[in-house]
Amino acid sequence: MKLTDIEPFKQIKKRFNRRNFKKRLVKLELFTEVIPDGVVLLDERYLIVAANDSAQRLLGLPDSAIGEPFEDHVKVPRLRNYMRGEAANKEPLEFTSPIQKDSVLESRVFDVDQKSRAMIIRDITTLNRLLTMRQSFVANVSHELRTPLTVVKGYLEAMTDPESSDDLRLGLIEKLVAPVARMESLVQDLLLLTRLESNPVPPDMHEVDMASLIRNSNHEVQGLLRKKDTLTIDCKTDKKILGLPKELHSVCVNLISNAIRYSPDGAEIVVSWEDAGDDKARLSVKDHGLGIAKEHLDRITERFYRVDMQESRGRGGTGLGLAIVKHVLRRHNSELKVESEINQGSLFFCEFETVERSLR
């Protein structure tokens, strides 16, 4: 006979098991309260046995819902059918939040035993948004590459045609430069944007003379200007900042070229570097062009997002310039701000801590 089979020891074992079981229940309850996913326990009649704080928040369940039918508090027909149907325990169900219409939730239901089920609820709004952005990104890249590739393909077909003259072939070679350059620019911007996104914390920064950097950027955008356009560089301070020169140069070039592209002929663009007080300096690019409607302002830094302006000049661009600006500025503890009115022009600006303040 085992020692544990003797009656006094049996009682001791039962009390130990009960205490151990209670400890496990306490740990389980603490676990369900700290996880972001909602957990709802249901009995065989689909009455709510228990729900953690996340479930109450995601589904709008009050404290008084315990012991009451789940369907009395969560009126989502698709979720009800899923919970009662054969789909439970299999594929998860996506449905619109019953309390916040712009949020998407995902539910999974598991059989605990013959008389109870556990429902797991999680908010997948951000995940779906990222998936949509990824799909849109791939579609936009494909679209942007398709046009120059089609042009290159057409020229190559003409060049390889046996009936084409040598003079025609030589002329077509020159025409290949523009579409190839466009594809090269797009790939370079994509690589730069990927690097910026994957490395949010920049390496060691250097002292940057922004006034000189702005003047150098001015030379790079001269090819976009037309005869009637004017580009003025107004550096009112010689304050320096800590940063990465190449990235800050990209900010200047993208902001200036964006102002030129989205202004009608005769554009008047002013690029300023001035004191912003409190050991800060401001970079601004102001144009007197077409302006941007309010509904576009929150999206203009998205990849490939373009404001459709009939009077704007189609001068290329990859649609990634302002997205690059946004990520570079984040790496420099700054952000892009925009003020704009239709037919009055736009002001793009950002502020940086100067070297004096950064070294404090």
Residue 49, number of CB atoms within 10 A of its CB: 15
The answer to whether 273 and 237 are in contact (CB under 8 A) is: yes
Measured between its terminal Cα atoms, the distance across the chain in Å is: 78
Confidence (pLDDT) at 2? 34
CATH fold for domain 202-358: Heat Shock Protein 90 (3.30.565)
Mean pLDDT of 32-46: 80
Q: Which CATH superfamily is domain 35-123 in?
A: PAS domain (3.30.450.20)
Q: Which tens digit of pLDDT belongs to each residue from 297-318? A: 888 888 777 665 554 444 456 6
Q: Is 184 exposed, middle or buried (0-12, 13-18, 19+ CB in 10 A)?
A: exposed
Q: Is 3 helix (H, G, I), strand (E, B) or coil?
A: helix
Domain with CATH 3.30.450.20 in the chain: 35-123
Mean pLDDT of 166-189: 84
Q: Which pTM does this prediction carry? A: 0.61
Residue 47 tokens read as 């009455």
Q: How far is residue 44 from each of residues 118, 243, 300, measured CA to CA in Å?
A: 11, 63, 52
Residue with the bigger pLDDT between 86 and 253: it is 253
Confidence (pLDDT) at 349? 94
Domain with CATH 3.30.565.10 in the chain: 202-358
CA distance 50 to 60: 14
Confidence (pLDDT) at 23? 55
Q: Any bridge partners for residue 111, and if so which?
A: 117
Count of positions (residues) in the chain: 360
Residue 157 tokens read as 């077909």
CA distance 357 to 342: 37
